[in-house]
Amino acid sequence: MTHLIPPHGGELVDLIVPDERKEVLRDLSLHIPSIALSESQMCDLELLMNGAFSPLKGFLSQTDYASVLDRMRLQDGTLWPMPVCLDVTEVEASRLEAGQSVALRDPEGFMLAVMNVEEVWPVDKEAEAQAVYGTTDMAHPGVDYLFNRTGSHYVGGAVEGVNMPLHFDFKHLRLTPLEVRTLCAKLGWRRMVGFQTRNPLHRAQFEMTLRAMRETKANLLLQPVVGRTRPGDIDYYTRVRCYQAAGRHYAPNMVLLSLLPLAMRMAGPREALWHALIRKNYGCTHFIVGRDHAGPGCDGKGRPFYGPYAAQELLARHQDEIGIRIVPFEEMVYLPRQDRYVPCGDVDDDAEAKRLSGTELRSLLRSGLEIPEWFTFPEVITELRSAYPPRHRQGFTVFFTGLSGAGKSTIARVLLSRFLEMGDRPVTLLDGDIVRRHLSSELGFSKEDRDINVRRIGFVASEITKNRGIAICAPIAPYRLSRRQIRQMIEEYGGFIEVFVATSLEVCEKRDRKGIYAKARAGLIKGFTGIDDPYEPPENAEVIVDTSDLTPDEAAQEVLLELQRQGYIR
Ligand code: PPS
């Protein structure tokens, strides 16, 4: 392996300790505090333990952290642009002190490592956001994560690895830096160009990687991120199937596909430099940096956080020091008349060039629209389509809300029959009464209990929607906030159609089929919605019906028309 590029800092770190030491640590772990790691922290720990973060041997100390923020270097001068810190809550921090050991565990309690705590300090999130991201704007996903998900304190210290985090998916594609280096040597690859991606591989990226290989006379390490990426990205299971499908377009033995469990920070230039160092540890001699590498999107005013080529400029300044060569690329665009992709700088007439951003692709997928053939490979379209079917094959939830006796359950039953008649998707009716009997029998009607009840309905409906069924929910759901939370949860997987049954209190009370309003007026039932408990009407319901002047069939018809307008039924 002598001809391969040396790892950053000269030596590939391996934090997994010998078996005898593991035994000692397992015994020790019975007597020391534990920290249950988040998904992102597990990513950081895995890459620390397997040497992808060489030369780091643990989570940064406070002086290294300050130095990284200030000058992108560890205190010994080694280039390192990204803080890799273990964050904890204030309560956890108060239980830890320097000199102590702490067991790092996965969410199931499986011990991964022991950390020797060197320091615990409160995080100055403003300062970190400014230094790493150049902004404190919450529209930046890295800033949002720092302020809203990261604990208030950091713990620094060396790590002794006991077990790698468990992965059950795509095991054969999860290679450590040592495994990649060993394979590379075995294959006789002398040069390897790394390609980092959080998107499926389309024709533009394919062309870019081919050009990079030609320019550098190197093989390709196709290394997609399967840890935390940008919110809204295509899930990695789908992406990996796409890489496998698109990978068949390369000549044999040209490419190595290896998944990187990295928690991305979306920090643009700093992040690009970090990606290059990581790839150097995997043995890459070259690294592709395209337009807007690790870009976080736009700020609150619609302006990009970083210049499109800022990452390339930063890397160009440091590449001699790092030793890995960067392969910069402009945006690749499609020329229909020549049926090929070229860098946008090579195009005479920009009006002729076609491009489709990742955001535009995701919006086409979510709305079930056609993906243009020039954009990607047919196999990739098939994979994406099976993960993102057109709307008429996606799941959805019809969520009725309104006062007791407004007519929610009756309209819901009419709709249930219509969907069963159509017969193209499984349907579940989660009526208020049914839910209260089967899911929420212990709950009453306090605000807290109603919120729990409505959240449970939302959870079940989101599972049904995710699995492409139809959920019809018909609780009172009097609070706007809990309805909004459910909407967010369900819209991740399919449609959410809120139907406000706006029948007035007067009419509901006059009907009083269950005699329940009379009881509420008589004070026999306390906290009854509309009488002595609030109902917050929806502000943005997709459908509003009032059963004082509509029959249940007519009201159901309005819902069906809206579903048809949105494409969920045909
Ligand atoms: S909530 O607020 O969404 O959790 O309510 P929900 O689960 O839909 O339950 C509403 C049915 O329970 C009966 N009921 C009450 N409703 C409102 N307030 C109080 N205090 C109350 N106590 C009992 C009521 O008959 C509702 O039935 P529907 O089917 O809506 O007429």
Pairing of the two strands 332-335 and 340-343: antiparallel
Ligand 1 centre to CA of 476 (Å) is: 6
pLDDT at 1 over 60: no
Q: Given a cut of 90, is residue 363 above it in pLDDT? A: no
What are the pLDDT digits (tens) for 278-292?
999 999 999 999 998
Cβ atoms of 206 and 185 closer than 8 Å: no
Distance from CA of residue 245 to its chain's centroid?
A: 22
Six-digit token string for 43: 């990513």
Which of 447, 453, 516, 547 has the most ligand 1 atoms within 8 A of CB, as the residue to mutate? 516
- 281 catalytic per annotation: no
> What tokens does 72 get?
């992108």
Start-to-end CA span in the chain (Å): 60
The whole-chain average pLDDT of the chain stands at: 95
Q: Is the CB of 443 under 6 A from ligand 1?
A: no
- Alpha-helical (H) ranges within 348-504 are 358-366, 378-387, 408-422, 432-438, 447-466, 480-491
Q: Is the pLDDT of residue 331 over 70?
A: yes
Whether 376 lines ligand 1, by a CB cut-off of 6 Å, is no
Judge if the beta carbon of residue 434 lies within 6 A of ligand 1.
Answer: no
**How far is it, in rounded angstroms, from Cα 504 to Cα 220?**
66
* Calpha distance 220→250 (Å, rounded): 10
Task: Give φ, ψ of 431 to 5 degrees.
Answer: -75, 155
Mean pLDDT calculated for residue range 89-114: 96
Hey, how many other C-beta atoms are within 10 angstroms of the C-beta on 520?
A: 21
Q: Compute the distance from residue 516 Cα to the ligand 1 centre, in Å.
A: 10
Q: Residue 10 burial by CB count (10 A; 0-12/13-18/19+): exposed, middle or buried? A: exposed
Among 354, 348, 349, residue whose Cα is nearest residue 376: 354
Looking at the predicted structure, is the pLDDT value of residue 509 above 90? Answer: yes
Residues 213-224 have a mean pLDDT of 98
Q: What is the pTM of this model?
A: 0.82
Q: How confident is the model at residue 300 (pLDDT cuts 50, 70, 90)?
A: confident
Residue nearest to atom 19 of ligand 1 (CA): 528
| DSSP-derived secondary structure letter, 368 | T
Answer yes or no: is pLDDT of 87 > 70: yes
Task: Give the Cα separation of 136 and 264 in Å (integer).
Answer: 17
Q: How confident is the model at residue 379 (pLDDT cuts 50, 70, 90)?
A: very high
Q: Does ligand 1 have an atom closer than 6 angstroms to the CB of 433?
A: yes
Find where tokens 């790691």 sit. Answer: 37
Query: Across residues 465-475, what is the average pLDDT?
Result: 97
Give the length of the chain. Answer: 570
Q: Is 199 a catalytic residue?
A: yes
Question: For residue 388, what pLDDT band results from cuts at 50, 70 and 90?
Answer: confident
Supply 109's token pair.
């309690």
pLDDT digits (tens, 9 = 90+) for 481-505: 999 999 999 998 999 999 999 999 9
**pLDDT for 301:** 87
Provide the pLDDT for residue 471.
98
pLDDT band at 333 (very low <50, low <70, confident <90, very high): very high
Among 365-369, 490-494, 544-548, the minimum mean pLDDT is found in: 365-369
pLDDT attached to residue 2: 52
